[in-house]
Amino acid sequence: MTEALLKLNLGCGTKVAEGWVNIDGSLTARLSRFPRVYRAMCRIFGVPEIPWHKSVKVLDLRSGLPFPDASVGVIYSSHMLEHFSPGDAVNLLKECHRCLAKGGLIRIVVPDLYAIARKYVALQEKAPSIGNPEAFLQALNMSPFPVRGIKRFFYERFAFSRHAHMYDEVSLRALLLKCGFADVRREEYARGRIQDLREVEDAARYCDAVCLEAVR
């Protein structure tokens, strides 16, 4: 691979890294391009405005990646894939595989269903009166929306930050292999085969999370 190959930071949020193509397709990123609408929506739903960097490319990643075949050297994604339906996740990873050059690397960080479930089970075994299914769903960020009427419509339409699916190491590994990747390895914060990881990594996002790195 050469230095001319792109480095993609998918679902970047506010973690904008120099030298990377920082991409986000979340609702707030899209709305931020219309400041008045964005401020009004934040007031309606009682959520803080996210300071989106102007360099972030706003793309609906469910529609694919607008990059030529074999034009990318590295793809990084943290806490994004769980917001996609299983079908959309497969399509996106296949697009990542298409864009990566031979020998290119992909690194995915997602909440770890196994780690979260273990904590819930341990709490239930220790004190059944404390643990409850609603708390477990909240930990998974998959609990039902607590609003009704027009607010509920918008929450359900745009999903906001609710998770659509969950993974553990086994299922995420199987998904990467299914999409054509090889040499899948579990990695820890700032460790792996990708240079300049600290530019995009956030140590806080490794709590109850699993990170897998794979090769095109």
**Residue scoring higher pLDDT (114 or 157):** 114
Q: At 210, is the secondary structure helix, strand, or coil?
A: strand
Read off the pLDDT band of 10 (50, 70, 90).
very high
Domains and their CATH numbers in the chain: 6-111+163-215 (3.40.50.150)
Which pLDDT score is estimated for 45? 73
The continuous run of DSSP H or E covering 200 comes out as none
In the chain, % of residues over pLDDT 90: 62
Per the CB < 8 A criterion, the answer to whether 189 and 203 are in contact is yes
Find, among 82, 105, 75, 24, the residue nearest to 209 by Cα: 82
d(CA 76, CA 79): 10
Which residue has better confidence, 143 or 152?
143
12 CB-near residues (< 8 Å, 6+ apart): 20, 22, 23, 24, 56, 200
pLDDT at site 39: 87
Other CB atoms within 10 Å distance of the CB of residue 128: 9
Higher per-residue confidence, 72 vs 29: 72
SS3 sequence of 170-194: HHHHHHHHHCCCEEEEECCCCCCCC
Q: Confirm if 102 and 69 have CB atoms less than 8 A apart.
A: no
Residue 21 has pLDDT above 90, yes or no: yes
In whole angstroms, what is the distance from residue 9 CA to residue 23 CA? Answer: 6
Of the pLDDT bands very low, low, confident and very high (cuts 50, 70, 90), residue 160 is low
- How many residues does this entry show for the chain? 216
pLDDT of residue 3 exceeding 60, the answer is no
pLDDT band of 134, cuts 50, 70, 90: confident
Mean pLDDT of 132-136: 77
Alpha helices in the chain (DSSP H): 27-31, 35-45, 86-99, 113-126, 133-139, 149-158, 169-178
pLDDT of residue 12: 95
**Rounded mean pLDDT of 96-124?**
94
Residues 54-108 have pLDDT tens digits of 899 999 999 999 999 999 999 999 999 999 999 999 999 999 999 999 999 999 9
How would residue 2 be classed by pLDDT, with cut points 50, 70 and 90? very low
Predicted TM-score of the model (pTM)? 0.89
